[in-house]
Each structure stands twice: as C-alpha cells, then as structure tokens.
Structure 1
Amino acid sequence: MSRLFLMCGLPGAGKTTLARRLAAELPAVRLCPDEWMAGLGVDLFDIAFRAELEAVFRRHALELLASGVDVVLENGFWSRAERAELLRDGRAVGAAVELRYLDVPIEELVRRLEVRNREPGEAVITRAMLEDYAGLFEAPDAAELALFDQG
C-alpha cells in the first residue's frame, strides 16, 4: 500500500527538513511548492500560481499513489477542509494517508525565520507576516489527527 504524507505547519516549523528525511528513508517522491516556484523564478507570494501548482501536485500525487509510489506533499495544509479532501482522495486511490503536524511555538518560529531570512535567495517572512499566518492556520485537533493513518 502506498502512503501519502502531508506536512502540516507554519513557515519555519521544519516541514522541509522532515519531508527530505522521509523521502530519502522511504523512498518517496517529495513535492515542495516553494522549491518549484523558486526554481521556476516565480515569486513565492504569488498566490494564484501557488494554487495552480498545488493543484498539479495533488493530481500528480494521486497518480503516483495509485501506481504504488509513496508521496510527501509539503504544502503546509493550513485548512481542515484541504486536509480532509486529501485524506478522502488518497484513500480513494488505495493509499494510507499520514498527517505530520509540526506544532512549534510562535517564538521559536520567529527565531528560525530570522535565521533563514538571512540566507541568500530565501523569501523573507517577518514576525508580522507569521502572526497573520498563525491567525489563518487551523491547527488539527486530536479528533482530526485520529482520522489519519499512523506510521
């Protein structure tokens, strides 16, 4: 049975670090919108392009899962509705679906982002932006987490 891994959390939570490790250990195909957008020269804050790319990744992931390939998606998955949709779609193609929620306190996220913001080529995310994002983020609760497969 193939497995779909959803990396869930705010910027700086460690989604990419965990996703890279999982992809190497399993192995799995890792799809990271930020890396693809940067590689294509697209502004990481281009919401319309990001939505299109994530839709392409979702379709591709389901094709890979249906053919028995494990997939790691790094979209962040801020909304319950989006997570529920991928849970349903992943299971519909016969895959196990795991949600990897990285719950990191805001002060630690700010610290990590301040370090990352100094790296060349990184998109700068300020404390104010992070606080706005935190207001939009729907953290999974225990009931939601229980819906997903455990690895």
Structure 2
Amino acid sequence: MSEPGCLVVVSGLPGSGKTTQAKRLQAERRGIRFCPDEWMTALGANLWDDELRARVEGLQWDMAFDVLRAGGTAIIEWGTWGRDERERLRAEATTLGARTELLFLDPPADVLWKRIEERGMEDPPMKHADVVAMHEFMQSQRPDEAERSAFDEVL
C-alpha cells in the first residue's frame, strides 16, 4: 500500500492567478489538477451554474480523494474563498494521513479587474463593482494564524 499523498488547496478570487499557479504546481509535482471551470467549459455549461458547479466539484473531490489514497498530489483549484470550505477539504484529506498545503492568492481588486477584463472569459461579463465586493468578502476570509498552522505548509 502506498503512502497517502498531498492535497494542495489553491485559494483565490477570479483573476488571482489560480490556474497559472496550479499548472505550475502540477508540472513541478506531477500532480493532478482539478479545475471546475475547465470541466464546465468542456461541457458547454454556464460557469455561473452553481448547481452544476457543486456536482462537478463533488466528482472532482471523489477523484482527488482517490489520488490522495494512491499517494499522488491532488491540486484543488476551486477558489475556496471561505475558511469553512478550506477546512473541510483539509480535514477530509488528513483522514487519509495526507499532507495538506495551502496556496492563498490575494492580489488587489484593481489587479483582479484588469486580469478579468483582459481574459474576457466570464459570461455574463463581471462588473468592477462585483470584483470589489468579492475582494472585500475575501478579506474577511483570509487565512488567519490558526488556519495557516492547521496546514502542513503554506506556500
């Protein structure tokens, strides 16, 4: 039986660089990356369909758990804005004895807005006010010292 693997939780808002950083980690660690936006786009689905997103993330988590059980690296690229969601993933991974790592990406709201505008992927398009509101919410969900210390490593 192999050693349990490593879960990397990539946390950040749209435009924060989650995909760029997750792809880098995937290459460095030969990990498996789980990005619901890519799956939903491949299915021709609306990225804002919350019900479908929850189902896709559920399927991805089942697969990530299998990767961890097999000793691999699972990279969760869901955004994981809230502490509760990050803690749930961390806690479930530790039931397998897996290592857990957190990568929290937090660029300023203006940087997020510029990146979102440049890539033009959101349909319907996001508004600047939406980005500012999400950024303000995310500030209340920044990992505190207790959350950081619960992970084996903070990248």
Q: Distance in 2 between matches of 1:45 and 1:135?
A: 20
Q: 1:35 aligns with which of 29, 38, 41?
A: 38
What's 2:26 paired with? 23
Aligned residue for 2:77, secondary structure, equals strand
What's 1:126 paired with? 127
Aligned residue for 1:34, secondary structure, equals helix
Q: Distance in 1 between matches of 2:137 and 2:57?
A: 18
TM-score norm. by structure 2 comes to: 0.89
Q: Distance in 2 between matches of 1:24 and 1:101?
A: 19
Q: Distance in 1 between matches of 2:69 and 2:107?
A: 33
What's 1:8 paired with? 11
- Superimposed CA distance per residue, residues 36-64 of structure 1 (whole angstroms, 9 cap, x where no aligned partner): 10011000000100011111111111111
Aligned residue for 2:151, secondary structure, equals coil
Provide the alpha-carbon RMSD of the alignment.
Answer: 1.3
TM-score norm. by structure 1 comes to: 0.91
Q: Distance in 1 between matches of 2:134 and 2:66?
A: 31
Is there any run of 5+ residues in structure 1 with no aligned partner, and where?
A: none
Aligned residue for 1:94, secondary structure, equals coil
Aligned pair count reads 147
What's 1:87 paired with? 90
Q: Distance in 1 between matches of 2:7 and 2:98?
A: 7
Q: 2:71 aligns with which of 68, 71, 75?
A: 68
What's 1:109 paired with? 112
Give percent identity, aligned residues only. Answer: 38
